[in-house]
A = this chain, B = another copy of it.
Amino acid sequence: MATDLIEERPWERREAFLHLNPAGVLPVLVDATGLAIPGAALICEYLDETYGDALGEQRLLPRDPRARVETRRLIEWFGIKFHAEVGEYLITEKILKRFVPVGEGGSSPDTVAIRAAKSNVRYHLRYVGYLARRRNWLAGDRLSYADFIAAAHLSVIDYLGDVPWEEDSAAKEWYARLKSRPSFRPLLAETMRGTPPSASYADLDF
């Protein structure tokens, strides 16, 4: 399925964007009929419901309700908990504050928040390693949305150079496997104006 990516600056609170997602957060998928599906977790569910059956063994949300619990638990873990404890701090302090000048309601980076996030990411990395040592993929034997959501959240932090991969070899090996997948490559080629990626960000052999 081909997807066009559209840049949205949610902090500008464009009315047309808020119409797509009143919560005002990204990502939002707009399907061919114009239906807006807001948020990564809902997008996973919707893609599974509309395309999952046809994927057979490659389905990214398992068919078994019990296995779905574990996949969804990890989708929430990264989408909510990791985001709140790591991503939100670092994205706000290191990226968003560049877009909102101090004179226009912005403020300078909060070093306490950055320090907290850098401490928290170590615990999340250990948890990824814990799961990766016990299972083939994060939620079980098969690759699932949990892996992609986790990798997406970690990749933002990795872009900033703040994931201490050397602290957990199993987590690093899991991420290297994901990074090598053809579907992941285009993401690694994207860059953000004004903020170059860390040296190892797109390196498959980091």
Contacting pair B23 A45 (CB below 8 A):
no
Contacting pair B69 A23 (CB below 8 A):
no
Q: What copy number does this chain have within its complex? A: 2
The majority secondary structure among interface residues of chain A is: helix
Contacting pair A72 B42 (CB below 8 A):
yes
A66–B32 alpha-carbon span in the complex (Å): 12
Asked if A109 is at the interface (CB within 8 A of a chain B CB), the reply is no
Asked if A50 is at the interface (CB within 8 A of a chain B CB), the reply is yes
Asked if A137 is at the interface (CB within 8 A of a chain B CB), the reply is no
Q: In whole Å, how far is A69's beta carbon from the nearest beta carbon of chain B?
A: 5
Q: Which residue from chain B places its CB closest to the CB of A50 in the assembled complex?
A: B65
Q: Which residue from chain B places its CB closest to the CB of A39 in the assembled complex?
A: B76
Q: Which residue from chain B places its CB closest to the CB of A76 in the assembled complex?
A: B39
Q: In whole Å, how far is A52's beta carbon from the nearest beta carbon of chain B?
A: 10
Mark A60-78 against chain B: 1 for CB-CB distance below 8 A, else 0: 0000011011001100110
Contacting pair B73 A42 (CB below 8 A):
yes
A162–B50 alpha-carbon span in the complex (Å): 41
